[in-house]
Structure 1
Amino acid sequence: MIKLINVNMNFRGKEILKDISLTIEQGEIMVIIGPSGSGKSTLLRLIIGLLQPTAGEVWVNGREISHMNEDELNKIRLEMGMVFQYSALFDSMSVGENVAFGLRQHTAMPEEEIARTVRRKLRMVGLRGQENAMPNELSGGMKKRVSLARAIAINPHIVLYDEPTAGLDPIMSNTIDRLIVSTRRMIDATSVVVTHDMASAFSIADRIAMIYGGGIVEIGTPAMIKQSENPIVAKFIRGATGIAENRGRSRA
């Protein structure tokens, strides 16, 4: 579904990503981990076409997108949904209007069908009947769920998540994790999740890729990452081990 081939990304002479090659299979949940500033969010922006690589190729659903114009990219983006780190809801719009935004902008769907879709997507994320609520009335976890409902409103093939559990308490983080997994099942979406939350990563991932120093230093299943002998990987995940264990007990 997604393939990066020898991707490099420079900003003002600074190398952010170097020689990144990564294949993400259809229906997979791929989690990207790494220290702050390692290029994780840059990777998401390359996949959705907000950035063009300095070198290399970015393939999405069989199409190379790195040299597409904006009109071509917009057609590709209709197949993607994005859940932003800080939800990025429109404060002046109700919850229902936020979820409906993409449908009104990019489809000719009748208003009655839009309303049905909004209700259905809010129900999927556990927010039945919240269409008329305003963003400033919602908790952080509820805003994340509205952002997810908006992202999946058009039934995308790919959903990108930028730090989906950031700023949430463990109970709400668990809720978001379950939604990511259930969303994959319900709409058969390929998911790419950028996170610092190792408990979340180990819980939801089919595979985990770690970026360090601009390159991928390890990729594998959660079990493989936990047992990695790479000292960079081991040191990074060790700091989250206690949190992961506590989250695991709270799940039980």
Structure 2
Amino acid sequence: MIKLDNVSMAFRGRPVLDNISLDIAEGEIMVIIGPSGSGKSTILRLMIGLLKPLAGKIWIDGQEISGASEEELNIIRRNMGMVFQYSALFDSMTVGENVAFGLRQHTALSEEEIARTVRRRLRMVGLNGQESVMPSELSGGMKKRVSLARAIAINPQIVLYDEPTAGLDPIMSTTIDRLICSTRRVLNVTSVVVTHHMSSAFNIADRIAMIYDGRIIEIGTVSEIKKSSNPIVQQFIHGWAKPGEFAKRRSRRSES
């Protein structure tokens, strides 16, 4: 469903991504982890066409997009939804209007059909009957759920999540994790999730890709990532301050 082939990116001459290659299967939940500033969110923006790579190619559902025009990208984006880190709701619009925004922009549905879709999507994310509420009245977790309802309103094939649990308490983070999984199950969407919360990554991922210093240094299932012999991966997933901690612990286990 998504393929990156030797993609490189830089900002103001500073390299951010260095020959990234990644294949994401239809219906898969791919989680991308890595330190802050490692290029995780840049990958999402490249996938949705908000950025163009300096080198390499990107395919979305078999269509190469790195050289696509804005008009062509808009057509491709109709099959994609994105949940932004800070929700990115329109403050002047109600919850219902936010969820309906893409439907009004990209479909010919009647207002009655739009209202029906909005109700259905809000019910999916546990916000039934909240159409008339303003974003300023919502908690952080509720805003994330509205953002997800908006992203899936147009029945996308792909949903991209940029730090969906950032700033949320553990209980609400678990709720968002469950919504990501249920959205995949109900709509059969392909999901790409950028996060630095390892508990969320382990809860939802089919596979995890770790990016470090602009390169993908490890890709695998949750079990494979947990057992990785790469000390940088182990340092990151355990939050160890020193890279050498992994070697010390492995040595202790072998001695015992």
Q: Same fold (TM over 0.5)?
A: yes
Cα distance in structure 2, aligned partners of 1:10 and 1:140: 32
Distance 1:93 1:221 in 2: 40
Structure 1 unaligned regions, length at least 5 = 241-252
Aligned length: 240
Matches within 5 A, 1:56-205: 56-205=56-205
Give the letter for the 2:95 counterpart: V
Residue 239 of structure 1, CA deviation: 1.1
Q: Which residue of 1 aligns with 2:245?
A: none
SS of 2:31's equivalent?
strand
Q: CA deviation at 1:10?
A: 1.4
> Alpha-carbon deviation of 1:2?
0.1
Matched letter for residue 238 of structure 1 = H
How far has the Cα of 1:106 moved from its partner? Answer: 1.0
What secondary structure does 2:16 align onto? strand
Task: Please give the per-residue CA displacement for 1:23-51, whole angstroms capped at 9, x wherever unaligned.
Answer: 00000000000000000000000000000
Quote the Cα distance in structure 2 between the aligned partners of 1:178 and 1:12: 39
Q: CA deviation at 1:11?
A: 1.4
2:42 aligned residue: 42
**Structure 2 length-normalised TM:** 0.93
Residues 165-200 of structure 1 show CA distances to partners (whole Å, capped at 9, x for unaligned) of 000000000000000000001111000000010000
What per-residue deviation string (whole Å, max 9, x for no partner) do you get for residues 61-102 of structure 1?
000000001000000000000000000000110000000000
Q: What residue in structure 2 maps to residue 237 of structure 1?
A: 237
Whole-angstrom distance in 2 between the partners of 1:236 and 1:146 = 31
3-state SS in 1 of match to 2:119: helix
- Which amino acid counterpart does residue 39 of structure 1 have in structure 2? G
For residues 3-22 of structure 1, give each alpha carbon's deviation from its aligned partner in whole angstroms, at most 9, with x where no partner exists.
00000111121110001000
Q: C-alpha separation between the residues in 1 aligned to 2:226 and 2:170? A: 21
Q: Distance in 1 between matches of 2:23 and 2:105?
A: 31
Letter paired with 2:156: P
Once residues 46 and 16 of structure 1 are traced to their aligned partners in structure 2, the CA distance between those partners, rounded to angstroms, is 12
Unmatched 5+ residue regions in structure 2?
Answer: 241-256
C-alpha deviations, 1:211-250, integer Å up to 9, x for none? 000000000001110111101101001118xxxxxxxxxx
How many angstroms apart in 1 are the aligned matches of 2:30 and 2:87? 20
Question: AA paired with 1:159?
Answer: V
SS of the aligned residue for 1:5 comes to strand
Task: Specify the alignment match of 1:51 in structure 2.
Answer: 51
Q: Which whole-Å CA distance do the structure 1 matches of 2:79 and 2:64 have between them?
A: 14
- 2:57 maps to a residue whose letter is E
Aligned to 1:221: 221
Counterpart Cα distance in 2 of 1:235 and 1:152:
35
1:33 equivalent to 2:33? Answer yes
The whole-number CA distance in structure 1 between the counterparts of 2:64 and 2:139 is: 39
User: How far apart in 1 are the matches of 2:152 and 2:106?
Assistant: 14
> Counterpart of 1:58 in 2: which secondary structure?
strand
Distance 1:168 1:56 in 2: 36
C-alpha distance after superposition, 1:95-141 (max 9, x if no partner): 00000000001111100000000000000000000000110111100
Q: CA RMSD in A?
A: 0.7
Structure 1 residue ranges (4+ consecutive) displaced by more than 6 angstroms after TM superposition? none
